[in-house]
């Protein structure tokens, strides 16, 4: 039923609101009821106290007819103020004063009073024994030993003993004041308050439901947007971005989502570019191979030239082979499939070997090679991988340096590292292109005419290898003057001693 976060939030908030209102309602009901009845007892008790004073005044001035009128008046006004029946009884339970007059009292009560010789008497001894013993005040709740049974309500009866001090100074309880009020009076007050409470509950539940609805929408709307955007991106539309600017966790999530979308878009662009490059690099040699072989087969290429063309075909096949191998190696490096085999070796020795390997190309171009080694230095690295780095860098230097140019190879110790530099006096690289030479298949415009065989993968592999070693590689170049590549390697511990 509550599947979405939105409906769960709304349901949860409303449940919390209703629950807290119920708790405060119940607390209010009981504490208010208690407060009202305590308050009522206090009022009746205080009224009883006052009535006693007038009773005393009356008893002391019995011969004065005004005294009785006054007592009657006082009883009447207290009755009205407190909403109760007020009776004064003597020490036998005989009701001597009553307000309202007993004749006007509800017959349901009157029926339960004892009537003897023109006076009404409390029928049960328990109704006056306690108060006459001096307890002040006596409080009874209920039907007052059957007296109020017929009214159907529960009553609160507050009884006050009236003490008279005789001439000898002794105190006697000679009368008692009864103030009786139906508890419905208390309930009436309670229900009035309760009505206001319920109205405020309904109003606040309505307002909070409204607020909760909007608040929950504000939380769940961005989540929906994120989910929709994710669907769109998974469908291949990588340029979708979110426009959520809140500064909370959802805003953070949206920010990360956008970053992810940018990364995915770049990756997709790279993938497309890569496929385009690979197919281009493969197609060109394959077309020429196909053309030459067809020419040989259909006789367009004469017998005596066939060998030359077959040589070109072999070169192209070798280039294709190298391209595929380089691509596979790069893919393996990037997926972390190739693990470096670290060993300690003399780097100067390796550099010498690499120069010898490329000797035929160097002499072909009449290049001068100068080496400047710091001292015989051992490094800790993967020998084959570093050989590949050196071959590619020296080969590039050879390729992009005109005849009779100079290639300089230096090693310099830098604390626990060794910096190896391969410099040439070649065509150089434009400033704008310096960052791009590390990309796969990237070849500068200037170099294209000089080197048709290169695939542009060499430096990508070189950078990968150096990165895998946790070392650095960088380049400096001045167009028309020359280029220098520098890379670092960790010195082997034995060289450090």
Helices and strands (H, E) in the chain, number of each type: 13, 14
CA-to-CA separations, 375 to 81, 349, 394, 410, 412, in angstroms, rounded? 116, 11, 20, 11, 8
Lookup: tokens for 282: 């493969």
Query: Which of 89, 483 has the CB closer to ligand ATP?
Result: 483
> Quick check: 447 binds Mg ion (CB under 5 A)?
no
398 binds ligand ATP (CB under 6 A): no
Does 426 interact with Mg ion (rule: CB under 5 A)? no
CB nearer Mg ion, residue 61 or residue 421? 421
List the x/- string, 345-384, binding to ligand ATP by CB under 6 A.
----------------------------------------
Is residue 274 close enough to count as binding ligand ATP by CB under 6 A?
Answer: no
> Site for ligand ATP (CB under 6 A): how many residues?
23
Q: How many residues does the chain have?
A: 497
Show Cβ contacts of residue 139 under 8 Å, excluding neighbours closer than 6 positions: 41, 156, 157, 158, 159
382's tokens = 């993967």
From residue 36, give the alpha-carbon distance in Å to each of 31, 83, 123, 181, 215.
8, 14, 30, 13, 40
What is the smallest separation between the CB atom of 365 and Mg ion, expressed in angstroms?
A: 16
Which of residues 345 and 441 has its CB atom nearest to Mg ion in the complex?
441
Three-class SS state of 391: helix
Nearest approach, Cβ of residue 389 and ligand ATP (Å)? 11
Nearest distance, CB of residue 379 and ligand ATP, angstroms = 22
Residue (124 or 451) nearer to ligand ATP, CB? 451
> Which span sits near Mg ion by CB under 5 A: 156-164, 235-243, 326-334, 456-464?
456-464
CA 143 to chain CA centroid, nearest Å: 62
| 405-464 residues near ligand ATP, rule: CB under 6 A | 424, 426-429, 437, 442-444, 447, 451, 454-460
Binding at 442: pick from Mg ion, ligand ATP, none (beta carbon under 5-8 Å per type): ligand ATP
CA distance 68 to 72: 6
Distance CA 149, CA 152 (A): 6
Alpha helices in 335-382 (DSSP H): 347-357, 359-364
Helix (H, G, I), strand (E, B) or coil at 395: helix
- The residues of the shown chain that bind ligand ATP, judged by CB under 6 A, are 392, 396-397, 400, 424, 426-429, 437, 442-444, 447, 451, 454-460, 483
Residues that bind Mg ion (CB under 5 A): 392, 396, 458
């Amino acid at each position: 039923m509550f599947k979405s976060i939105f409906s769960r939030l709304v349901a949860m908030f409303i449940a919390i609101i209703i629950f807290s209102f119920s708790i405060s309602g119940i607390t209010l009901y009981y504490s208010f009821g208690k407060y009202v009845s305590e308050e009522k007892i206090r009022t009746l008790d205080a009224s009883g106290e006052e009535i006693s004073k007038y009773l005393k005044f009356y008893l002391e001035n019995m011969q004065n007819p005004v005294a009785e009128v006054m007592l009657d008046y006082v009883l009447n006004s207290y009755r009205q103020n407190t909403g109760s029946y007020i009776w004064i009884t003597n020490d036998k339970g005989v009701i001597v004063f009553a307000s309202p007059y007993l004749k006007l009292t509800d017959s349901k009560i009157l029926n339960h009073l004892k009537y003897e010789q023109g006076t009404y008497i409390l029928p049960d001894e328990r109704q006056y024994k306690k108060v006459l013993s001096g307890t002040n005040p006596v409080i009874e709740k209920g039907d007052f030993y059957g007296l109020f049974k017929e009214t159907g309500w529960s009553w609160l009866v507050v009884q006050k003993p009236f003490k008279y001090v005789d001439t000898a100074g002794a105190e006697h309880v000679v009368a008692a004041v009864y103030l009786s009020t139906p508890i419905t009076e208390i309930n009436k007050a309670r229900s009035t308050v309760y009505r206001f409470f319920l109205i405020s509950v309904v109003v606040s539940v309505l307002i909070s439901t409204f607020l909760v609805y909007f608040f929950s929408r504000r939380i769940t709307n961005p989540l929906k947007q994120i989910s929709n955007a994710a669907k769109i991106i998974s469908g291949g539309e990588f340029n979708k971005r979110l426009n959520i600017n809140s500064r909370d966790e959802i805003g953070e999530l949206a920010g990360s989502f956008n970053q992810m979308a940018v990364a995915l878009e770049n990756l997709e662009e790279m993938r497309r570019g890569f496929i385009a490059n690979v197919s281009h690099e493969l197609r060109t040699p394959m077309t020429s191979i196909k053309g030459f072989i067809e020419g040989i087969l259909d006789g367009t290429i004469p017998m005596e030239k066939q060998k030359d063309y077959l040589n070109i075909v072999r070169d192209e096949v070798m280039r294709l082979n190298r391209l595929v191998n380089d691509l596979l190696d790069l893919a393996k490096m990037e997926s972390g499939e190739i693990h470096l085999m670290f060993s300690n070796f003399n780097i100067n020795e390796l550099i010498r070997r690499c120069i010898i390997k490329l000797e035929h190309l160097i002499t072909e171009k009449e290049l001068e090679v100068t080496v400047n080694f710091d001292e015989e230095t051992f490094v800790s690295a993967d020998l084959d991988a570093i050989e590949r780095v050196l071959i590619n860098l020296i080969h590039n230097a050879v390729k992009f340096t005109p005849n009779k140019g100079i290639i300089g190879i230096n090693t310099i110790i830098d604390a626990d590292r060794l910096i190896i530099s391969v410099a040439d006096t070649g065509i150089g690289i434009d400033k704008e292109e310096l960052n791009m030479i590390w990309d796969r298949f990237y070849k500068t415009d200037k170099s294209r005419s000089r080197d048709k065989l290169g695939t542009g993968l060499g430096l990508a592999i070189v950078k990968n290898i150096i990165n895998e070693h946790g070392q650095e590689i960088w380049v400096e170049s001045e167009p028309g003057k020359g280029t220098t590549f520098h890379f670092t390697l960790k010195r082997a511990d034995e060289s450090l001693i």
